[in-house]
């Protein structure tokens, strides 16, 4: 199987298209490992012309680690981990329409994000993903030295709370219950520079939607440097822009990226099935080290068809 699989790099720093593989079929261990290695290396990967059921998506995502049950979105019929992201013609706001990385407000944050396109607009609706590992590596030595001793608090930002207050009305038919998400729970501390559990490469681990402030600094004191770093991470040379087609599956590594769903298709439908994995260890950085960490579970030890079915310990902070 692996002989037929081809990986085509898309940009200089991020993104690859994988062809010659049917994700609905039975894949051998070498092919599964090659897909995981491609995600580690290229940060974002995609497959065209895939005809996948929710069960197929859950099996595929299970190759990357512990799958996440979304805290407030309903799973689609017949699935446990796959939920749907929809924007209808009469809606103005979209889902994910700001730079962010998923679930960094958890002690063990989101690890990977996978989207499968069911309905796509005639134009627009692309997803932009940036490589925060390449962005870190492009920093000056002085900036790296300063940031490696810094931590940041993650939680629900004022921007997230405002968006959720609006979106919860539009999402009412997709929510698990009528109860509001607890957006005032405890915040968590993460290193500003984290090491990737599979490759050891360092990346900037901050994002506008969940990073609140640096440790021992106020938000007002933190924002100038945070915004400077966000501008750096999202420079065009560190980004790829995925244009969606029907039956396309894309995955990206939440541990070394941010993403942005472009809201430029008024009056059209965009429907995606989404499935996420979550870290099984606290992010490791210079300042925090391995406090509270447990061995990471990922692709490397899995056999074909193996799925991790452990429900994540969500704590009080969910996104």
Domains and CATH numbers, the chain: 6-278 (3.60.130.10)
Largest Cα–Cα distance of the chain, in whole Å?
A: 54
Q: Phi/psi at 241 (nearest 5 deg)?
A: -120, 110
CB 307 within 8 A of CB 297: no
Tell me the pLDDT of the chain (319 aa) as tens digits.
Answer: 566 899 999 999 999 999 999 999 999 999 999 999 999 999 999 999 999 999 999 999 999 999 999 887 889 999 999 999 999 999 888 888 999 999 999 999 999 999 999 999 999 999 999 999 999 999 999 999 999 999 999 998 888 777 767 666 665 555 554 455 566 678 999 999 999 999 999 999 999 999 999 999 999 999 999 999 999 999 999 999 999 999 999 999 999 999 999 999 999 999 999 999 999 999 998 654 433 333 333 333 333 333 333 233 223 232 3
CB 129 within 8 A of CB 257: yes
Q: How far apart are CA 108 and CA 266, in angstroms?
A: 36
Q: How far apart are CA 209 and CA 212, in angstroms?
A: 8
Q: How far apart are CA 117 and CA 84, in angstroms?
A: 10
Q: Quote the pTM value.
A: 0.85
Which residues are catalytically annotated? 100, 102, 259, 274
Q: How far apart are CA 218 and CA 178, in angstroms?
A: 34
Looking at residue 1, its pLDDT comes to: 57
Q: Which long-range contacts (CB under 8 A, 24 or more apart) does 30-34 make?
A: 30/1, 30/2, 31/1, 31/2, 31/5, 32/63, 32/299, 32/302, 32/304, 33/299, 33/300, 34/2, 34/5, 34/7
**Which ranges in 10-140 belong to alpha helices (H)?**
29-42, 54-62, 132-137
Beta strand 151-154 with 249-253: parallel, antiparallel or unpaired?
A: unpaired
Residue with tokens 């501008």: 231
Q: How far apart are CA 183 and CA 36, in angstroms?
A: 33
For 300, the token pair is: 């490397």
């Amino acid at each position: 199987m692996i002989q037929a699989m081809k990986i085509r790099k898309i940009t200089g720093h991020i993104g690859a298209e994988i062809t010659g593989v049917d994700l609905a079929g039975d894949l051998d261990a070498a092919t599964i490992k090659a897909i995981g290695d491609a995600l580690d290396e290229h940060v974002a990967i995609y497959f065209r012309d895939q005809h996948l059921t929710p069960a197929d998506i859950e099996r595929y995502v299970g190759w990357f680690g512990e799958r996440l049950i979304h805290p407030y979105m309903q799973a689609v019929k017949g699935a446990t981990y796959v939920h749907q992201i929809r924007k209808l013609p009469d809606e103005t706001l979209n889902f994910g329409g700001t730079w962010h990385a998923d679930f960094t407000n958890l002690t063990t944050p989101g690890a990977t994000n996978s989207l499968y396109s069911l309905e796509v607009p005639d134009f627009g609706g692309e997803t932009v993903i940036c490589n925060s590992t390449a962005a870190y590596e492009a920093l000056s030595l002085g900036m790296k030295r300063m940031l490696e001793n810094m931590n940041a608090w993650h939680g629900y930002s004022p921007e997230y709370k405002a968006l959720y207050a609006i979106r919860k009305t539009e999402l009412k038919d997709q929510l698990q219950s009528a109860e509001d998400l607890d957006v005032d729970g405890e915040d968590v501390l993460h290193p500003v520079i984290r090491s990737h559990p599979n490759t050891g490469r360092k990346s900037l681990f901050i994002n506008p939607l969940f990073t609140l402030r640096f440790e021992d600094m106020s938000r007002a004191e933190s924002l100038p440097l945070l915004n400077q770093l966000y501008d750096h991470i999202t420079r065009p040379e560190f980004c790829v822009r995925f244009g969606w087609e029907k039956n396309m599956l894309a995955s990206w590594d939440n541990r070394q990226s941010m993403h942005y769903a472009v809201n430029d298709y008024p009056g059209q439908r965009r429907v995606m099935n989404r499935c996420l994995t979550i870290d099984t260890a606290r992010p490791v950085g210079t300042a925090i080290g391995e406090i509270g960490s447990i061995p990471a579970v990922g692709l490397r030890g899995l056999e074909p068809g193996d799925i991790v079915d452990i429900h994540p310990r969500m704590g009080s902070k969910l996104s």
